[in-house]
Chain A
Amino acid sequence: MAAQREVLIVLIERIVPERIRRAEYQAEISWTPIGKALLRAVAGTMDAAVA
């Protein structure tokens, strides 16, 4: 558990859940700089694949 939590902490700064209906949720995730960088890097690889 601790190991998985460590990974999430590297990627995620904060999560604000929202209940969309009974027992169903959405989560607004604020990413850490590393999380954002990974998202951008993945987006970059996709752009490169399309080009």
Chain B
Amino acid sequence: MTLPGSVPSSGLRCTSGVPRQASRRYLLTGLLYCPRCGERMHGNARMGRPGPTRSRLPMWRSSLSGALSTDSTCAWLAHGPRLETVVLAQVLPLVETVTSTEVGLRAALHRAWQAIQEPAGAATSAKAIARLEQEAGRARQRLTRAAVLYADAEIDRHGYELLRDQAHTDLVAAEVELERLSGIAPVPKLPDLEAVLRQAGRLVDRFARR
């Protein structure tokens, strides 16, 4: 498959020791990580196999760094165009679907986008968290106040223990509930859907209309 607009890539290489600027122009630059050493991979046309197509075919590779290997470079190589094809085969169907101009689908997408950001109970949870934080704060103030009153001899030991135990019980209850609510996933902050779709459409324009 030819990918219009893509820089002819011959090979993708694991290159932690290779100057970064060499691969800035490839489609997958900055996204690929070597399956062998975990380093970011870099594209370089000169790493392609010798022959008539060498100058047009980039390869990607990484370099192995650190103490795991006595070898300074990781030899894992990948063929650029084939890798681009595999990645785009996963990305384009999603992009084509979301950029569909079909009115019903677009409306459903907007509803789904909205729903993701407003999971059921999220607003209620936010209010509950605010209320519980206030309750916990008040309980802490009551604990402090009880200690001050007792220190100033305004209440006896029995009175102090009563105030202290009530405040402590309220504080623990608020904190337990806060901990439970904090385990609920936060609402993701997503950008405007139309802005995302406009940007995604640029990918389809270049790769899907062929």
Known pairs A1-B5, A24-B82; A42 contacts B97 (CB<8 A): yes
In the complex, the answer to whether B200 meets A11 with C-beta atoms within 8 Å is yes
In the complex, the answer to whether A1 meets B196 with C-beta atoms within 8 Å is no
Q: List 16 A-B contacts (CB under 8 A).
A: A4-B6, A4-B207, A5-B27, A11-B95, A14-B33, A18-B35, A24-B82, A25-B78, A25-B86, A37-B188, A38-B196, A39-B94, A42-B98, A42-B109, A45-B108, A48-B112
Contact with A29, one of B5, B82, B90, B190 (Cβ below 8 angstroms): B90
In the complex, the answer to whether B6 meets A40 with C-beta atoms within 8 Å is no
A-B pairs with CB below 8 Å: how many?
125
Binding site for A on B (CB under 8 A): 5-7, 12, 25-35, 41, 78-79, 82-83, 86-87, 90-91, 94-95, 97-98, 105, 108-109, 111-113, 115-116, 188, 190-191, 193, 196, 199-200, 202-203, 206-207
In the complex, the answer to whether A4 meets B5 with C-beta atoms within 8 Å is yes
List, in ascending order, chain B residues with CB within 8 A of A8's CB: 27-28, 31, 87, 91, 203
For chain A, which range describes its interface: under 10, 10 to 19, 20 to 34, or 35 or more residues? Answer: 35 or more
List, in ascending order, chain A residues with CB within 8 A of B29's CB: 5
Known pairs A7-B203, A8-B27, A34-B196; A17 contacts B78 (CB<8 A): yes
In the complex, the answer to whether A25 meets B83 with C-beta atoms within 8 Å is yes
Main secondary structure on A side of the interface with B: helix
Interface centre among B7, B79, B207 (most CB of A within 10 A): B79
